[in-house]
Structures are given as C-alpha cells and as structure tokens.
A and B are shown apart, each in its own frame.
Chain A
C-alpha cells in the first residue's frame, strides 16, 4: 500500500514515515503543497495524508485541484485546525477523513487501513483465500491460523494480489507498491519476492500464478 505524506513539520513527517513503513506501507513524503501536488498528480497512492497549513500551496487548495483533475485517491486531512467549520470545509472539498493534531498513531493507522479497504470495496479487514487469511490492519498473513512470516515486500505483494483476486498485475505495477524515493525496486526484486512468497504459501491454499507476458495473479485452490 502506498501512502503520500504532505506535511511541513519534518519531525512529524519523519516519525510518520518511519511508523507507517514499519507497518508495511510504502511511504512518499513532501514538505510543501506544490511538491505534494506534483507527487499526488503523477504517482498512484492508496492514501494521501494531508496537512492544511502548508507553504507554497495550502492543503485545501491542493485537495481542490486534485479533485478537479479527477484524482480519486483517498485523502486523510491531518491538521491542528479543530473547528467544526474547518472539518466540514475539508470534507466538503473532497477529503475522506479528518484527524486533528495531536493524534494517536494507532488511530491514524486504523483510519488509513479503513480508507484502503474502502478503496477495494471491502469492509472486512480480513481477506480469506481458502486456508489463507490476511489481516490488512495488522499487516499479517495467517495460513491454517498460523502466522505466516513474510517480509514487508512479500506482504505488500500478497496483499495487493489478494485485494483483487484474479486480477493480473504486471511486475512494474507490483514494483510501484514496493518502491519509495530512496529505494527503487525493480522487476527483478518482484520476481524474487514472488518466488519466496510462493514457497511460503505452498500450494494448498492459494497460489500466485504467472501469466506469461502479463504478470501475476492470485488463484484460490
């Protein structure tokens, strides 16, 4: 899952990036409104965490411009502005959620997970594929109710495939869910991760199938 953080406080941005990466998210960040707008416009994200008081372009203008361009990415506003009018204005302009600072990281994480599920029209945080269960909130996969030990990369690919079972994803598409600005992932990395994932899944519950020339999809057994 890819998250874009647009926040001008370097401390908040860094701690959020760290926390979300540890939760298995791929995180991009921008320090000002204009940079954030360019990121949001030219890259695909599952959720954008948006501060309102930003240098360059304020959060509400950014949101308005994104929606005007038809961008449907879920936007969670994270702001110190706590007035009802501020929240209403944010939601009215197209935000999906609003969280007031100071906040709990756990709550922010839960809200991000909810937005991701909503994006895949799935209200249940548990994805079931035969004996395979994936908890999208905990970022944890279970096989026969036993924890399946996956690396963040393996989990990211499994969750992406499981959220749209049967849908084929190219290596490049899957790579975008792994990469961030500092650490670019290539198709080779995806191949390696798919290989190790197949080994851990075995062949009894669900398997990652290759469609030559197109990519991978998840198939129920």
Chain B
C-alpha cells in the first residue's frame, strides 16, 4: 500500500537529488574548466618567460636563465623545448632528459594539448611560434650597470646557458622558432579529484539532510491527516453527537472535514430513520403477536370452553389477515424504495384507467370530475398501486360519511390529478410528517387496519414514475393530494 508520506518524501527527495546532481555536475565541470584554464595561463606565462630569455646573437641562439629564478626546469615536472621551423630541436630544459616534446601541426598563436609520455607521464603542453629577440650591444653607464646588477640574483645563482649556432642554410632574417613548454598534470588532476570528492561528500551530507528534513516536514504536514484518521476510527455510528474536529487543519483538510461531517450527519439521519422504521415495524408486529400468543395460551389453558375457543379461532384469522396486510404493504414499500426503474411505459387515457381502479370497490361517496380525455405515459402496474393507495387514503381517513373527490385537469400541458377529502383536524406539522413510514394522526393505531404506509408508498412510487406529488391543506378540515404527470410525449411512450 502506498503511503502519502512515503510518496511525497521520496518524490521531493528524488527531485531535489536530480536537481543537485545536475547542478553539481555542471559546477564540477566549471571548476574543472577554470582549474585547467588557470593551469594553462600559468603554463603560457612560463612559456612567455622562457621566450623572453631566447636571444639571437648573429647566427647563434643563446638561452640563459637563472636556476634560482626558474628552478622548476631543472627537476622533473616542467619542461621546455625550442625547435627550428624545420623541426630541429635546438634547446631543451635539463629536466627533459633528452625527450623531445611534441610539436603541434596547427597554426594557432598559442596551442595547448595533453600529452601522455611513457617517461614523463601525463603532461600539459603549450606551444607557440616566435621570433627570437636580437641582441643589441649597448654601452651602459656605471649607474645603469649597477641597476642591472641589482636586478640580477645574488650570490649562489647559477646561469644555465644554452647556445646553438644556426646551420648555414638557415636564413637568419625573419627566423622564427617554436617554443614548446610542458608541465606535469598530476597536481591539477589531484586538485580536481580532491574538489570532486569534497563536493560529492558535501552533496551526500546535503542530500541526507534534505531527506530527513523532507520527511520531517511532510510528516508534520500530514499530522492533521493522521488526526483525521484517528477521529474517523473512533466514530461510533450510533452516537449522533460524533463529529470530526481538526482545529489546526490546513485549508484542504478543512474542506474534507466539512464534507465528512456533512456525510456523518446524513449517515446518522439515515440510521435514525432506519432505527425508527425498525422500531415501528417491531411495534406494529408486537401487538398482533401478543394477541396471538395470549389467545393461544388461553385456548390451550381452557380448551373446554367451546364458545371461547371458537371465538379465539375467529380472532386468530382476523389477526393473521392484518399481519398479512402489513407484510404486503411493507413489501410494496420496500420495492418502491429500491426503485430499479420503470419497466413498462405506455400511453393510455387516465380517466378510463382511474375508472378501472375504482370499479369493484365500494366508494359510494366518491365524486369523479373531468371534462376531457387526457392521456399520460406511465407504468400502468405501478400507477395502479399509486392511485389505489390515494383512493384508499381519501376513503379511509375522511370524516366518516363525508364525500370525497377526484378531479382531473390539464395545466400547461401537464395532466393534474387531485384527490380531496374532509378530515377532522389536520395541521401543517401533520402535513410535514405525512410521508413518513408508519406515521398516523392517531398514535394508538386502535383500528389495526391502517399502518401509515400508504403515503410513503405513494411518495416512492411518484419518484419512480416521475410524477410530482403535493399535499395541500386548503383549510384545517380539508386534505388535498395533487399529482402532476409529465407531458405525454411520443418518445417517452416508445
């Protein structure tokens, strides 16, 4: 199972790591470039210094340098070579040990290259072409001689002198030489390696720190989520007071908290409704069961009382019929609540259909009023149950002996069907509860013939059939039910 904390921590870590790796790589390359550049500049400077020591005296090339100023050319690690244009080596540093440095074939003013030599190892080579300085014989004053002497190194300095006489076939005018200076690359490689290692170490420490920090921050950020989880686990559906409370939750979770509390309220309302329904069912069944149990007990205890026993049998039949009615009503309600859609949709004439529903029933005080033939599109089986429930409701709950009415009209292309009956006293608060299962105006349910399920069935059937139902109290002694059928178009019938 994926955890948000795990996912977010690793995602952030991976992104930061990749970013650091790229930045680190680029930085290392930059460092490498800068180091090499500096190395090359130093090498070039040394080469220029060496070039400044080369003099052409007639046909002789003279190179003098003080060993204490440039001691590096005496030991292994720094090398120089000078070549004639035809490639003849004319001079080299003592450190070169007779090994000729390579001459590059390009025409750049200054060229660099790496050279791997078996004897000298890996070296960096710089090369340039130059015209040697021609020596001028100057007559110096005493003061100038003293100044020059002051510039020269002191006692103990040795002059390394190289002299080369140009062959006869070499033209002195316009002569140019090639200077090649090399330096061991090892110090540069070590420096770069050390820098890389330090940088990698720093990167790893940084990444570990970032990882721990990320985990900590994400964990802290998800604290409200864990709190939410704990609170949800503690919620008992039976406790109506239970609510989720996250005082320091971030904005996103506040919305979830609100949505969950709304859901809890709906769940609790459903549970209360279901509990109330179960209580009503058990209550409705308790009385007939008590009657049956007592009758059976009395019949068994006094079997000789023939008249009583016969009466008991008759009562058992009546009670069982009532129970059967209750079970049937509950089944209809259950099916209507489950819904599942309307199977059959037919176009038919409502007046005739209503007459069929009424025929065979004893509704002597019923007055039906409609002027024209109006058609509706509906499921006839379900509509029949709906209309019969409304007819029975009007007939059974009216003031005994009073007339009741069924009217049909057309209003804005809608077919409107009304049932109206007189009632003893009915209030708006009664109207609000009229569709609740088992609700009855008389809580004693003395008659035992009504269960308060009729209008619950009506409500659910209306929802199934798409019929709008409205309960109206024109005054406190009249009760009116209005059904509005949707327009009967051809498509719906098909």
Q: Is B301 an interface residue (CB 8 A)?
A: yes
A58 touches B443 (CB 8 A): yes
A101 touches B289 (CB 8 A): yes
A101 touches B444 (CB 8 A): no
Query: DSSP class of A's interface residues: helix, strand, loop or mixed?
Result: loop
A103 touches B290 (CB 8 A): yes
Interface residues of B in 459-481 (CB under 8 A from A): none
A58 to B444, CA, bound (A): 8
A55 to B444, CA, bound (A): 5
B290 touches A18 (CB 8 A): no
B298 touches A9 (CB 8 A): no
- Taking CB atoms, residues of chain B closer than 8 Å to A18 are 298, 302, 305, 308
A105 to B298, CA, bound (A): 8
- Taking CB atoms, residues of chain A closer than 8 Å to B448 are 9
Q: Is A12 an interface residue (CB 8 A)?
A: yes
Supposing A11-B315, A58-B444, A103-B293 touch, asked if A19 and B301 sit within 8 A by C-beta, the answer is yes
Q: Is B76 an interface residue (CB 8 A)?
A: no
Interface residues of B in 291-309 (CB under 8 A from A): 291-295, 297-298, 301-302, 305, 308
- Taking CB atoms, residues of chain B closer than 8 Å to A80 are 283, 286-287, 290
Interface residues of B in 256-300 (CB under 8 A from A): 279, 282-283, 286-287, 289-295, 297-298
Report the minimal beta-carbon distance from B448 to chain A, rounded to whole angstroms: 7
Using C-beta atoms within 8 Å of the partner chain, give the interface range for chain B.
20 to 34
1/0 per residue, CB under 8 A from A, across B225-252: the answer is: 0000000000000000000000000000
Report the minimal beta-carbon distance from A89 to chain B, rounded to whole angstroms: 15
A184 to B443, CA, bound (A): 35
Q: Is A104 an interface residue (CB 8 A)?
A: yes
Closest residue of chain A to B286 (Cβ to Cβ) is A80
Q: Is A123 an interface residue (CB 8 A)?
A: no
Report the minimal beta-carbon distance from B281 to chain A, rounded to whole angstroms: 11
Closest residue of chain A to B292 (Cβ to Cβ) is A102
A14 to B315, CA, bound (A): 10
- Taking CB atoms, residues of chain B closer than 8 Å to A106 are 297
Supposing A16-B294, A80-B283, A101-B290 touch, asked if A55 and B446 sit within 8 A by C-beta, the answer is yes
B289 touches A102 (CB 8 A): yes
A19 touches B294 (CB 8 A): yes
- Taking CB atoms, residues of chain A closer than 8 Å to B445 are 53
A53 to B441, CA, bound (A): 12
Partner of A104, one of B283, B297, B318, B446: B297
A8 touches B302 (CB 8 A): no
A15 touches B286 (CB 8 A): no
- Taking CB atoms, residues of chain B closer than 8 Å to A11 are 291, 294-295, 315, 318-319
Closest residue of chain B to A100 (Cβ to Cβ) is B286
Q: Is B7 an interface residue (CB 8 A)?
A: no
Interface residues of A in 1-38 (CB under 8 A from B): 8-9, 11-12, 14-16, 18-19, 22, 31-32
Report the minimal beta-carbon distance from B446 to chain A, rounded to whole angstroms: 4
Q: Is A188 an interface residue (CB 8 A)?
A: no
Closest residue of chain A to B316 (Cβ to Cβ) is A11
Using C-beta atoms within 8 Å of the partner chain, give the interface range for chain A.
20 to 34
A9 to B444, CA, bound (A): 10
Partner of B444, one of A8, A14, A100: A8
Partner of B302, one of A22, A82, A83, A103: A22
A80 to B284, CA, bound (A): 8
Report the minimal beta-carbon distance from A59 to chain B, rounded to whole angstroms: 9
A14 touches B287 (CB 8 A): no
- Taking CB atoms, residues of chain B closer than 8 Å to A101 are 286-287, 289-290
1/0 per residue, CB under 8 A from A, across B438-462: the answer is: 0000111110100000000000000
Q: Is A67 an interface residue (CB 8 A)?
A: no
Q: Is B39 an interface residue (CB 8 A)?
A: no
Residue among A14, A22, A54, A82 facing the most chain B CB atoms (10 A cut-off): A14
B291 touches A12 (CB 8 A): yes
- Taking CB atoms, residues of chain A closer than 8 Å to B130 are none
Residue among B297, B302, B312, B442 facing the most chain A CB atoms (10 A cut-off): B297
A80 to B280, CA, bound (A): 10
Residue among A18, A22, A103 facing the most chain B CB atoms (10 A cut-off): A18
Q: Is B59 an interface residue (CB 8 A)?
A: no
Q: Which positions in A face B, CB cutoff 8 Å?
A: 8-9, 11-12, 14-16, 18-19, 22, 31-32, 53-55, 58, 80-83, 100-106
9 closest cross-chain pairs (CB), A and B: A101-B290, A80-B286, A102-B290, A8-B446, A11-B291, A53-B444, A55-B444, A102-B293, A15-B294
Q: Which positions in B face A, CB cutoff 8 Å?
A: 279, 282-283, 286-287, 289-295, 297-298, 301-302, 305, 308, 311-312, 315, 318-319, 442-446, 448
Instruction: Knowing that A11-B294, A14-B311, A82-B286 touch, tell me 5 more A-B residue pairs with CB under 8 angstroms.
Output: A8-B446, A12-B290, A16-B294, A82-B282, A104-B293
Show 11 residue pairs from A and B whose CB-CB distance is below 8 angstroms, ordered by the A residue: A8-B446, A11-B315, A11-B318, A15-B295, A18-B305, A55-B446, A80-B287, A80-B290, A81-B283, A82-B286, A105-B301
